Homo-oligomer: A and B are copies of this chain.
């Protein structure tokens, strides 16, 4: 029983993650206003009282939601894409795939969070920082692919806007853009000087 010490942490935090996961789903489906403690508890089959063991209050849950999304949709993606290949072109392809094709079982909160930012200046600021970070990453990949810096800046912006647009479209019920379109676009973006 002394040996268990090392693996103790997981079960303790499982509850917290379950709340976050459930909140994510609701956030994606109903937006920020749907994320309330009582309905969430009902959804999870527990009492709302239990919520307060994991979080100080509702605001703490919303904060965790944002944190979780930043990690999953930005930090992790960058690490995974970097590890996926050594070729910048291949990395860009992988990045586009990871950020535009929905991951089964993981709700896409991107659009809901942008809407949230519209109503909450703090969230807006945080979003802006994340946007800069992502755009910069794309820019560096383009430069790695042979595009010169000044061109890369514009293309990174364009590429990033396209991805945001795709999320918005899909959130509004549009059909996902085909892989062929993405490939074609990437080809354009990686064209070097001559």
Contacts and interface: CB of A to CB of B under 8 A. Distances in A.
Contacts of A121: 118-119, 121
Interface residues of A, number: 4
A118 B120 CA distance: 8
Tell me what chain A mostly uses at the interface: helix, strand, loop, or mixed.
helix
A118 B121 CA distance: 7
A120 to B, nearest CB: 7
**Copies per assembly:** 2
Interface in A114-142: 118-121
Interface string A11-55: 000000000000000000000000000000000000000000000
A125 to B, nearest CB: 11
A33 to B, nearest CB: 14
A171 B119 CA distance: 25
Contacts of A119: 119-121
A184 B118 CA distance: 42
A120 B119 CA distance: 6
Nearest to A117: B121
A120 B124 CA distance: 12
A119 B124 CA distance: 11
A32 to B, nearest CB: 13
A118 B119 CA distance: 9
Interface in A139-154: none
Nearest to A124: B121
Contacts of A120: 119
A121 B119 CA distance: 6
A120 B120 CA distance: 7
Contacts of A118: 121
A20 B164 CA distance: 42
Interface string A84-123: 0000000000000000000000000000000000111100
5 contacts: A118-B121, A119-B119, A119-B120, A119-B121, A121-B121
